[in-house]
C-alpha cells in the first residue's frame, strides 16, 4: 500500500470514530437513554472487534481522544468496555483516576483482558483491587519523582519516566489478567 493509501485508511477510521461519537452525543441529546448501555473505547482499529464481542454497538465506540465526551454521555448503570487497560490508560495513576471517575458516575467498567478489574454499579470495585491499584499508582509516582530529581539529562528523564509508566501499566495487566487468579483445586 502506498503512503497516501495508508493515510486514507487512517482518515476513514478517524471519521468512523467521530461519527460513532456523534451518534452517542445525539442519543444523549434526544433523551432516549432509558436503559443502561455499553460504550467502548479503543486505541487501535484492530481493537474494535474485541469491544463488539463484549456487546458494544459500533455507534457506541469511540477513540481515546473522545474519552472526555464519552464520559459526559455516560449515566449511572452504563458500562465502559475496553480491550485492555494497556490501551485505555497511559499509567497506573491515569487508570486509577479514570476508574474513580466511572465509579463516581455510577457507571461500570469491563476489560476484555483483565476481568478481575471489572466492576458495575451493583457490584463496586472490591477494596483489595482498589488498594492494589492505589499501590501501583503510588509506587509509580515515587519512581517518576525520583527520576525527575536525579541528575540525568532531561531527555533521559523523560524516556525513563515513560518507561516506568509503561511498566507499571504492564504490571497491572499481569496481576489482573484473566488467568492470573485461580481457584484452589482448579
Which pLDDT belongs to residue 1? Answer: 43
41 and 63 Cβ atoms separated by less than 8 Å: yes
Of the candidates 92, 134, 117, 123, the one whose C-alpha atom is nearest the C-alpha of residue 180 is 117
87 and 62 Cβ atoms separated by less than 8 Å: no
Which pLDDT belongs to residue 16? Answer: 53
Q: How far apart are CA 34 and CA 13, in angstroms?
A: 29
Which pLDDT belongs to residue 180? Answer: 44
Give 82's strand partners: 111
Per DSSP bridges, beta strands 79-82 and 38-42 are parallel
Q: Render each residue's pLDDT in the chain as its tens digit; 186 residues.
A: 444 455 555 555 555 555 554 444 444 444 444 578 999 999 888 899 999 999 999 888 888 888 888 888 888 899 999 999 988 899 999 999 988 888 888 889 999 888 788 888 777 777 888 899 999 999 999 999 999 999 999 999 999 999 999 999 999 988 888 654 444 444
Q: How far apart are CA 83 and CA 88, in angstroms?
A: 8
pTM, whole model, 2 decimals? 0.73
DSSP class of 139: H
* Secondary structure class of 18 (helix, strand, coil): helix
Which pLDDT belongs to residue 183? Answer: 45
Q: How many CA atoms lie within 13 A of 62 on its CB side?
A: 23
Give 132's strand partners: none
Q: How far apart are CA 97 and CA 51, in angstroms?
A: 22
Amino acid at each position: 500500500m502506498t503512503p497516501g493509501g495508508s493515510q486514507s485508511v487512517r482518515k476513514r477510521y478517524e471519521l468512523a470514530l467521530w461519527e460513532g461519537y456523534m451518534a452517542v452525543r445525539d442519543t444523549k441529546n434526544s433523551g432516549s437513554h432509558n436503559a443502561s448501555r455499553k460504550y467502548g473505547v479503543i486505541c487501535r482499529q484492530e481493537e474494535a472487534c474485541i469491544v463488539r464481542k463484549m456487546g458494544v454497538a459500533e455507534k457506541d465506540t469511540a477513540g481515546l481522544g473522545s474519552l472526555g465526551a464519552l464520559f459526559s454521555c455516560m449515566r449511572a448503570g452504563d458500562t465502559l468496555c475496553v480491550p485492555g487497560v494497556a490501551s485505555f490508560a497511559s499509567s497506573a495513576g491515569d487508570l486509577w483516576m479514570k476508574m474513580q471517575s466511572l465509579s463516581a458516575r455510577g457507571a461500570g467498567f469491563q476489560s476484555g483482558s483483565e476481568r478481575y478489574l471489572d466492576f458495575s454499579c451493583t457490584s463496586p470495585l472490591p477494596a483489595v483491587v482498589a488498594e492494589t491499584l492505589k499501590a501501583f499508582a503510588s509506587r509509580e509516582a515515587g519512581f517518576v519523582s525520583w527520576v525527575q530529581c536525579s541528575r540525568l539529562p532531561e531527555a533521559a528523564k523523560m524516556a525513563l519516566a515513560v518507561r516506568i509508566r509503561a511498566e507499571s501499566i504492564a504490571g497491572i495487566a499481569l496481576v489482573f489478567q484473566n488467568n492470573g487468579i485461580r481457584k484452589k483445586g482448579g
